[in-house]
Amino acid sequence: MRVSPTPAGWRGQPGRLLPLLLLAALGAAAPGCSRPSAASHGHLTIQNKGSDTIVNLAQAWAEAYKKVAPDVSIEVSGGGSGVGLAALIKGTIDIANSSRDIKPSEVEEAKRSTGKEPCDFIVGYDALAIYVHKDNPLEEITFEQLAGIYAEGGTLTHWSDLGVSLPGGRNKIIRVSRQSSSGTYEFFRERVLHNRDFKLGSNDMNGSKEVVDLVGNTPGAIGYSGMGYANPRVKMLRVAVRAGSPAVAPTVENTLSKAYPIARSLHMFTLGQPEGATKAYLDWILSDAGQEIVAQCGFVPVAPNHRTGQARPAP
């Protein structure tokens, strides 16, 4: 059984602690893989790889878990959601991080390769923000305009096409994007571009932070990334699904109410039901202690009654 994607959450400024009351404000439980329980284990290493959106959070979890289970080493690396899922499919890692849903084709490939079906644990929520330079006078944008900028065949190439005049006479739109292995890339392509291909000529960055840093250093740039990577040099735009509909800011309130249109769940995948130390680690991630770190890193935690894994059999 496959669960419909749950709206994503909010990432604030790094280090900002969201109230723990937020834990109780999120959605209701869904059936699925049983939640892992704590287990005793000896010294070993858990390999955790994938999404660059999640990598900072995953590293924070790994550091904190040293105090919980000093005999367990958590090795975290990024590379993108596709990279993590590909490694999981081959059976070379224990946990794959992903900022997108797993594809039916990936489920089938995992079954052929390992004989096991991936199990999905939603570990937090994120909102995908649209960034421009802080001096850009633009305040809101529509899906159609974003497609005009990013999609193949799109004709929006200058800020004047959007009725915007930038300081210093800069007019060309500098498109900042992610590499194709990124779950953020795929999520943006599916949700905003409606599966149209990206046009050539964008600046494709390897990580979420790099996108925001480039936009902040480039007055004519526009980019998309998790909102927790915001800094004083950039502005996050309000987003409307279509012209004439309300343009919604990426705030925690708008994300929790499902008003913000570019929101997503954050996932950790295992091959089949996790066991031993991997099971205990996921149990801790989905505990109050692990979810408090989600809030500290600027994401929205998972409600206590929604902290379950969801098996995803191939269709």
pLDDT (0 to 100) of residue 43: 67
Structure tokens at 45: 């290493």
Q: How many domains does the chain have?
A: 2
Q: Are residues 295 and 251 in the same domain?
A: no
Q: Does some domain include residue 3?
A: no
Q: Are residues 227 and 286 in the same domain?
A: no
Q: Are residues 302 and 216 in the same domain?
A: no
Mean pLDDT of the chain: 86
| Angle at CA of residue 202, ends 238 and 222, nearest 5° | 25
- Asked which of 256, 276, 291 is the last residue of a domain, the reply is 256
Share of the chain above pLDDT 70, in %: 84
Domain span at residue 55 reads 20-126+265-311
Q: Are residues 242 and 231 in the same domain?
A: yes
Q: Does some domain include residue 7?
A: no
Q: Does some domain include residue 166?
A: yes
Q: Are residues 227 and 193 in the same domain?
A: yes
CA max distance for the chain: 64
Q: Does some domain include residue 6?
A: no
Is pLDDT above 80 for 91?
yes
Q: Does some domain include residue 307?
A: yes
* CATH assignment at residue 300: 3.40.190.10
Of 64, 54, 60, 56, the closest CA to residue 9 belongs to 54
**Which three-class secondary structure state does DSSP give residue 119?**
strand
pTM exceeding the 0.95 threshold for the entire prediction:
no
Is pLDDT above 70 for 142?
yes
Average pLDDT of the residues in 28-52: 61
Q: Are residues 269 and 248 in the same domain?
A: no
Q: Are residues 43 and 192 in the same domain?
A: no
CA 217 to chain centre: 23
User: Band of the pLDDT at 305, cuts 50, 70, 90?
Assistant: confident
pLDDT (0 to 100) of residue 302: 86
* Contact residues for 152 (Cβ-Cβ < 8 A; gap 6+): 196, 197, 198, 199
212-259 per-position pLDDT tens digit: 999 999 999 999 998 888 999 999 999 999 999 999 998 777 876 778
CB 313 within 8 A of CB 117: yes
Q: Are residues 40 and 55 in the same domain?
A: yes
